[in-house]
Amino acid sequence: MQNRFVKNLALLLFLNLLIKPFWILGVDRAVQNTVGDASYGFYSSVFSFSFLFYILLDLGITNFNNRNIAQNNQLLNKHLAGITVVKMLLVILYGFVIFLIGFLIGYDGQQLKLLAWVGINQVLLSFILYLRSNISGLLLFKTDSFLSVFDRLLMILICGFLLWSGFFKDQFRIEWYVYAQTFAYAVTIVVATFFVLKYSGKIKLNFSLPFSLMIIKKSIPYALLVLLMSFYNRLEPVLIERILGGELGKIQTGIYSRAFRLLDAGNNISLLFSVLLLPMFASLIKKKQAVKEMAKLSFSLIISMSSIVAILSIFYSTEIMQLLYGLQSGESVIAFEERISVSAAIFRLLMGSFVAVSVTYIFGTLLTANGNLKMLNIIAASGVVVNVAINFLLIPQWQALGAAYASLSVQVFTALLQFLMAWKIFKLNFGFSFWLRLAAFVIIAILASFFSRLLPYHWIINFALAAIISLLASFFSGLLRLSELSKLLFVRQKSS
């Protein structure tokens, strides 16, 4: 099972590192630079608002289905037919709720129009993720890996043409960005449906009230967890725009989005661990096999990766912001330096939370696979309270920077609680030497980043040297072992 995890993780990481960073740091960044902070902030706020209620499209069905199909492959045909009808009904509920709440919080006609298109995209995305949950539940990770980047690849081609062909750049509007997503999601659904039907056979859609109630009842704990996590993960852009209001709210939301974009890129990579681990943990738990080694291996990988990224980002935050968001047309040097300074400060805080978010993708997934939803929901609810309280306290005075402090606080808080819970339930005793090696690795990575800034070379060379030293430190400290990874990658083991 560990051999399978590493091999498929390598493929998933390769494809996502090939496509998604270019999408987020290339296309998405170019869109914001083209339309400006206010216009992108307007979109970001509406998108985040639609995402808060995304769970109404799913009610936890995707996570439940992933775990359930991994343990009961024979239910694919039956559940696919029934769940598809349930999700169609949930689309109506989602549309009603987002427009009602959007109207109540004061969205104007322009915001409601954009919300309609963004809502359609959320609907399409929910069906893609549900279809993929069946594929990953069958442990068809290679197919799922390709589907995980297919929509982004289509968006890159469409938006790339609109932005860089020279025909439309001066006319580009934020709405075009949304329309490109709609087309890409629609095509991806067709492709994903083809693969699912290949393994399920023909299905006949039917509505069964007892079946629907059974699925919803089993999925509700997952739904509540996702809803609460969405609130403390995605609430900041909405609160910045609503609390500050007007043009200032849109601009500050755009500034926050500049820094959050890189955190989102990192989170997309860390999320891949949970995509693979949920069905694997669920399968191990059902067969009453130990999860310690899988948890230790995945934690070692993700803590190494996230720590290196976070430390380098913190030390080189200003340079990274300058590289991604250069001097704008008509902007003075003083205004540019001030904008970069604020963006870098927000970026440092958000990347500090990246390690905490990555940890939750390991231990939160383990607890989810074990069915500890009640405790996870209590933690998530606590996170929402902490997040909202800090945001309302800090945003009026510190604006986007205050929201970044709130994000860091809640991510560390929830990650620590999830880790302690998993440690207690599964008795995950990694040993004192493991934590000693981890501390040594982190210290070396920090020192490498600090002293690299003193070198008389271009910052990119210094950055690369620090990254190489940090990566080597993860092996020399014993946190990662070449012999162990080689064994997992090249020695065939039996996996069920």
CA dihedral 182, 183, 185, 186 (to 10 degrees): 110
Burial 156-195 (b: 16+ CB within 10 A, else e): bebbbebbeeeeeeeebebebbbebbbebbbebbeebeeb
Q: Are 132 and 69 in contact (CB under 8 A)?
A: no
Q: Given CA atoms 448, 449, 452, 458 in this order, what sign does their dihedral have? A: positive
Q: How buried is residue 146: exposed, middle or buried, by Cβ count under 10 Å (0-12/13-18/19+)?
A: middle
Q: Report the C-alpha gap between 219 and 228 in whole angstroms.
A: 14
Q: Are 137 and 279 in contact (CB under 8 A)?
A: yes
CB-side neighbour CA atoms (13 Å) of 295: 27
Residue 218 has phi, psi (to 5 degrees) of -75, -25
Q: Are 38 and 247 in contact (CB under 8 A)?
A: yes
Domain ranges of the chain: 2-430
CB-side neighbour CA atoms (13 Å) of 113: 6
Q: Residue 116's Cα: distance from chain center in Å?
A: 23
Q: Are 364 and 416 in contact (CB under 8 A)?
A: no
DSSP symbols for 89-124: HHHHHHHHHHHHHHHHTT--HHHHHHHHHHHHHHHH
The pair of three-digit structure tokens given for residue 40, joined into one six-digit string: 């992108």
CB atoms within 10 A of CB 228: 23
The pair of three-digit structure tokens given for residue 405, joined into one six-digit string: 């402090």
The pair of three-digit structure tokens given for residue 413, joined into one six-digit string: 């808080």
DSSP assigned state of 1: -
Crossing angle for the helix pair 317-324 and 246-286, nearest 10 degrees?
110
Q: How far is CA 158 from CA 22, 47, 493, in A?
A: 13, 20, 43
C-alpha closest to that of 37 among 342, 463, 412? 342
Query: What pLDDT is attached to residue 447?
Result: 97
Q: Report the C-alpha gap between 234 and 51 in whole angstroms.
A: 7
Tokens 């852009």 -> residue? 237
Tokens 């994903």 -> residue? 192
Q: Report the C-alpha gap between 116 and 232 in whole angstroms.
A: 23
Residue 130 contacts by C-beta under 8 Å, 6 or more apart in sequence?
A: 58, 61, 62, 65, 83, 87
Tokens 């993929």 -> residue? 132
The pair of three-digit structure tokens given for residue 177, joined into one six-digit string: 């960005």
How many residues are given for the chain?
Answer: 496
CB atoms within 10 A of CB 11: 16
pLDDT in tens, the chain (496 residues): 545 555 555 666 666 667 777 887 788 888 888 888 788 888 988 998 898 888 788 777 776 777 666 666 666 766 677 788 888 889 999 999 999 999 898 888 888 999 999 999 999 999 998 888 888 777 776 787 788 888 989 999 999 898 888 777 568 889 999 999 999 999 999 999 888 888 777 777 777 778 777 777 777 777 777 777 777 777 888 889 889 988 888 889 888 888 888 887 787 777 767 767 777 787 788 777 778 888 888 888 889 999 999 999 999 999 999 988 877 777 788 888 888 899 999 999 999 899 999 999 889 889 988 888 889 889 989 998 999 999 999 999 999 999 999 999 999 999 999 999 999 888 888 888 889 999 999 999 999 999 999 999 999 999 999 999 999 999 888 887 765 554 444 433 433 3
The pair of three-digit structure tokens given for residue 319, joined into one six-digit string: 């340079």
Please report, as a single letter, which amino acid is at residue 328: Q
Q: Report the C-alpha gap between 31 and 39 in whole angstroms.
A: 10
Q: Are 256 and 240 in contact (CB under 8 A)?
A: yes
Q: Report the C-alpha gap between 274 and 281 in whole angstroms.
A: 10
Q: How far is CA 94 from CA 90, 99, 124, in A?
A: 6, 9, 12
pTM of the model: 0.71
Q: Report the C-alpha gap between 127 and 91 in whole angstroms.
A: 10
Query: What pLDDT is attached to residue 489?
Result: 45
Q: Report the C-alpha gap between 179 and 117 in whole angstroms.
A: 8
